[in-house]
Amino acid sequence: MAEVEKRRGSAPVPHEWTYAPAPESREIVSIHERYGLFVGGEWLEPTETYTTLSPASEEPLATVAQATPTEVRHAVAVAREAFADWSALPGSERAKYLFRIARILQERSREFAVLESLNGGKPIKESRDVDLPLAAAHFFYYAGWADKLEYAFPNRKPRPLGVAGQIIPWNFPLLMLAWKIAPALAAGNTVVLKPAETTPLTALLFCDVVRQAELPPGVVNIVTGDGSTGAALVDAPVDKIAFTGSTDVGKAILSRLAGSGKKLTLELGGKAANIVFDDAAIDQAVEGIVNGIYFNQGHVCCAGSRLFVQESVAEPVVDKLKRRMATLRVGDPLDKNTDVGAINSKAQLEKIEELVAAGRDEGAEIYQPPCRLPERGYWFAPTVFTKVAQSYRIAQEEIFGPVLSVLTFRTPDEAVEKANNTPYGLSAGVWTEKGSRILWMAERLRAGVVWANTYNRFDPASPFGGYKESGFGREGGLHGLAPYLDGNGGDA
Ligand code: NAP
Ligand code: MG
């Protein structure tokens, strides 16, 4: 014992730990100066264009197409033409293409990860360790179902719908593309996909993968552009719209499609409760809280943005959380040590700033750890609000940024009531040592996904989707195939 103490005493201890820069090279990606529309396996010259940026530096990255309604209708017509042959292929043949795409994504994952971080602002360690592996896993998973549809939906003669129009947001650009394209193709549909305006580049690089996999032309078509391109896709003669994005746009699409006969699934916003009981492993819970809200700058539909802590442990939990927040490194998305990257766009930064100002005005107490933010680009420090009342905007509205609101509760009933007091219902987290309490809570929480003693865990076999204003339809698992098939006994 004495010797150990002596050794400890003489070991050189640095005054402070610092991290040397560990930048990922961007050389691995070659970004074209200009991209057209990917239709029928060819690049079509667009009539209108816009410039896509790096949100970390505001540097222009490429000129991309702003697809017009005529161009969108053309893409849908090409997808329609390709549908006959694609849907007639045996499932085992379609599976081969999907397996090929999955393997190419794995082989080229570093290239995709760098591009995702450049165009979207997320830390490279997240795009490398989360977005890319999950995107490839999704293609592998649905490749496995392509020749087993009759087993998946017995006695129902599942048939593909036709052409699916797919519209995705900017927070997980390639992963959302995988969530959309993999099940649609496995089921025998062809697709026209519109990426988000601010993050088109990995979808455009994916076109290269589609070619490399020798997917028949017209099965996957990518049309870039802003909301008007999305609206044009909704109005085009597609058989189904699969939309992931905000609740406001989801509602607009729902009313637009009423009576049209087109099928629809909506994956919308959230305001998840992350609930910590007094018997939880506190340090583990603090890691889960940090992961729940600061992962991907809080640009996560299922982010644990409302933290409910049992009153008796509220003080130690918040203290530990603040200490942990001070160790988060905010900055260059391409640095492998970065924990929190850039906010995706100027518009999103302004939305976060507005809601944070509202939190201060309404009387909540704000804490941000000291951190130096880069001068150029869009940044927001990790933030926590305490003394939050349920009526405050920061407890009601989706902020979609690195901003946490802390509330407290005394009993499990109160936790359930407060957690469910939201128009959303996408996800929730429960931290407790007791298995029985986890089940009791999971039964009562009105949320599509409930995580226990973990947060933000995804698996392609596990369905994901919402209740109430978080939308309808599920992605992932068998549930994610049903909305791409007729005769599945599934939803809308
Ligand atoms: P958004 O503004 O609703 O945009 C989503 C997509 O729809 C984008 O591609 C967008 O184009 C397009 N769009 C905009 N207006 C449209 C219209 N009138 N008709 C058709 N398409 C239109 O949402 P966002 O700000 O990109 O993404 C954040 C939201 O997505 C959050 O609310 C988040 O919770 C939600 N989200 C949900 C899930 C889920 O699985 N439930 C997953 C991720 C994100 P532009 O890029 O030009 O705006
Ligand atoms: Mg938008």
Instruction: Tell me the best of 48, 171, 243 to mutate to test the pocket of ligand 1, counting ligand atoms within 8 Å of each CB and taking the most.
Output: 171
Please give the number of the atom of ligand 1 that sits closest to the Cα of 252.
18
- Please compute, for residue 146, the number of CA atoms within 13 A of its CA located in the half-sphere on the CB side: 29
Q: Are 418 and 388 in contact (CB under 8 A)?
A: no
Q: Which of 24, 116, 267, 397 is catalytic?
A: 267
Name the residue type at position 444. R
Atom of ligand 1 at shortest distance to CA of 249? 3
Residue 464 alpha carbon, nearest atom of ligand 1: 40
Ligand number nearest CA of 248 is 1
pLDDT, tens only, 93-151: 999 999 999 999 999 999 999 999 999 999 999 999 999 999 999 999 999 999 999 99
Give the distance (Å) from ligand 1 centre to CA of residue 385. 26
SS (H, E, C) 140-209: HHHHHHCCCHHHHCCCCCCEECCEEEEECCCCCHHHHHHHHHHHHHHCCCEEEEECCCCCCHHHHHHHHH
Ligand positioned closest to the Cα atom of 231:
1
pLDDT at 3: 45
Please tell me the distance from the alpha carbon of residue 110 to that of residue 128, in angstroms, as a whole number: 7
The phi and psi torsions of 6 (rounded to 5 degrees) equal -65, -45
Nearest-atom index, ligand 1, CA of 225: 47
Burial class (CB in 10 A: 0-12, 13-18, 19+), 26: middle
- 10 Å CB burial of residue 473 (0-12, 13-18, 19+) is buried
Nearest CA to ligand 1 atom 39: 267
Nearest of 330, 320, 344, 281 to residue 119 by alpha carbon: 344
- Which numbered atom of ligand 1 lies nearest the CA of 172? 43
Task: Return the pLDDT at 8.
Answer: 57
Pairing of strands 190-194, 220-222: parallel
Residues with CB under 6 A from ligand 1: 167-171, 194, 196-197, 226-227, 230-231, 234, 244-246, 249, 252-253, 267-270, 301, 398, 400, 426, 466, 471
**Which residue's alpha carbon is nearest to atom 35 within ligand 1?**
245
Tokens at 302, concatenated:
């299922």
**pLDDT given for residue 11 in this prediction:** 62
In angstroms, rounded to a whole number, what is the distance separating the alpha carbons of residues 389 and 405?
9
> Does domain 273-459 correspond to CATH entry 3.40.309.10?
yes
Question: What distance in Å separates the CA atoms of residue 220 and residue 185, rounded to the nearest whole number?
Answer: 9
Tell me the CA–centroid distance for residue 133 and ligand 1, in Å: 23
Q: Please give the pLDDT value at position 156.
A: 87
Tokens of 388: 């939050």
> Please, which contacts does 311-316 make with residues 24 or more away whose CB atoms are closer than 8 Å?
311/408, 311/409, 311/410, 312/278, 313/276, 313/278, 313/280, 313/282, 314/406, 314/408, 316/282
Q: Three-state DSSP class for 258?
A: coil
Question: Do the first three CATH levels of 26-268+470-490 and 273-459 match, i.e. the same topology?
Answer: no
pTM: 0.95
The DSSP symbol for 373 reads P
> Phi, psi at residue 428, to the nearest 5°?
-160, 160
pLDDT in tens, 157-198: 899 999 999 999 999 999 999 999 999 999 999 999 999 999
Alpha carbon of 56 to ligand 2 centroid (Å): 19
Tell me, in angstroms, the distance from the centre of ligand 1 to residue 359's CA.
Answer: 24
Domain ranges across the chain: 26-268+470-490, 273-459
CATH number of 26-268+470-490: 3.40.605.10
Judge whether 344 and 378 are in contact, CB under 8 Å. Answer: yes
Q: Which residues contact 33 (CB under 8 A, 6 or more apart)?
A: 62, 63
Atom 18, ligand 1: residue with shortest CA distance? 231
267 is an active site residue? yes
**Could you tell which of 64, 167, 397, 399 is best to mutate to test the pocket of ligand 1, judged by most ligand atoms within 8 Å of the CB?**
167
Regions of the chain with pLDDT less than 50: 1-6, 489-492
